[in-house]
Amino acid sequence: MWDWIVPFLVVLTVLVFVHELGHYLIARRVGVRVEVFSIGFGPELFGWTDGHGTRWKVSAIPLGGYVKMLGEHEHDEAEEGEKPQPLTPEEEAESFQRKSVGQRSAVVAAGPAANFLFAIVALAILFAAVGVPTPKAGIGSVQEGSAAAQSGLQQGDLIVAIEDRPVQWFEEVRQIVRDNPGQPLRLDVLRQDETLAITATPLPRAAGPEDGGRSEVGLLGITPDPQQVGYERINPLKAVGVAAQRTYELTAQILSALGQIITGSRTADELGGPIRIAQLSGQMADDGIINFVLFMAALSINLGLINLLPIPMLDGGHLAFYAVEAMRGRPLNKTIQEYGFRIGLAFVLFLMIFATWNDLTNLRVFEFLRDLIS
């Protein structure tokens, strides 16, 4: 159990800190007084107050965090039935609600933005220091009737050279094959502990627009082996670009999967909750620091996207209210906002319960309990 809990708390603490730090930094930038920066909820375990009056603390329930800004929820400042105390001129200048719509939107959007930025920075450091996870020149599958099948190539083979030119990555093999349609190629292949010389002739295929004006390209009919992956180091500047591209691609994949779940073309059983995240945290930690960092980056992107959903209670819900305020020239009625937040809270709680149910079902907890009492 502790193999799950400790990595999960590390991941959650880091990602929550990054998210709330985004809110904090932009709030300070636009002149909002931040009263509390908390990691966790509930009673304070320990903390300190900085020179700006912000109470930094770690609380007892380590399942999230928050930043409390002056005037952020004015209707909560007074007891029920009492009028809120008027702010002093100094407090007015530092109140969140007295800032412009654009400034408030920037503060709210900064949390998810920080999660995306964290993913880019973490991946860039990993790619520069260790390398980009890249498929080696191993064969994952061979298409029936393809040039590879005719030549005798098999799943699990590792191509180490083509025409006496050493190759390491699958993309190198792909490029050489594409450049030699219909030309016999001598492949040096490592199969188990034996090196074989195999001749394969890439089948010509009509080139598409992405092939730079070629009339045809070569096709061997193999796919990379997901079990044979190496790390290709790149310079720091390129690492930032690749990290940003990978972050964009993963974001697109998550949005696509979410759209498929909404339209019903993909089952909602794939949604995971805190138990599933804890399980994966433990597994990734066991797999080493590289997979752990990759997992944290992916989870940070998920956290950023979830918070941008236009659901009241989430950052995206606040941004939606601010967009309406910008168009109307005045905020929505407080009653409407309050009901919106209640509906949003109910929806978020429902999602948490549903995801947790999926976690328990996938772990066969209910089957275990049934067996105990049967």
CB distance 300 to 122 below 8 Å: yes
Two structure tokens written together for 217: 């390209």
Q: What is the DSSP string of 43-54?
A: EEEEEEE-TTS-
Main-chain phi, psi angles of 133, to 5 degrees:
-60, 120
Residue length of the chain:
374
d(CA 129, CA 243): 13
d(CA 53, CA 69): 11
d(CA 370, CA 154): 46
Q: Is 20 annotated in the active site?
A: yes
d(CA 327, CA 329): 6
The residues with which 224 forms a beta bridge, in sequence order, are 139
- Among residues 20, 35, 91, 172, the one annotated as catalytic is 20
Q: Please report the beta strands in 318-369, taking only residues with DSSP state E, as ranges in sequence order.
A: none
CB distance 26 to 20 below 8 Å: no
Q: Please report the beta strands in the chain, taking only residues with DSSP state E, as ranges in sequence order.
A: 34-49, 55-69, 132-135, 139-142, 158-162, 165-166, 185-191, 194-200, 203-206, 216-219, 222-224, 229-232
Two structure tokens written together for 95: 């109140």
The residues with which 92 forms a beta bridge, in sequence order, are none
d(CA 216, CA 179): 9
Helix (H) or strand (E) holding 84: none
- Which residue reads 């790619």 in tokens? 127
- Which residue reads 């005798």 in tokens? 152
d(CA 46, CA 58): 6
- Which residue reads 């195999």 in tokens? 198
CB distance 322 to 337 below 8 Å: no
Catalytic residues: 20
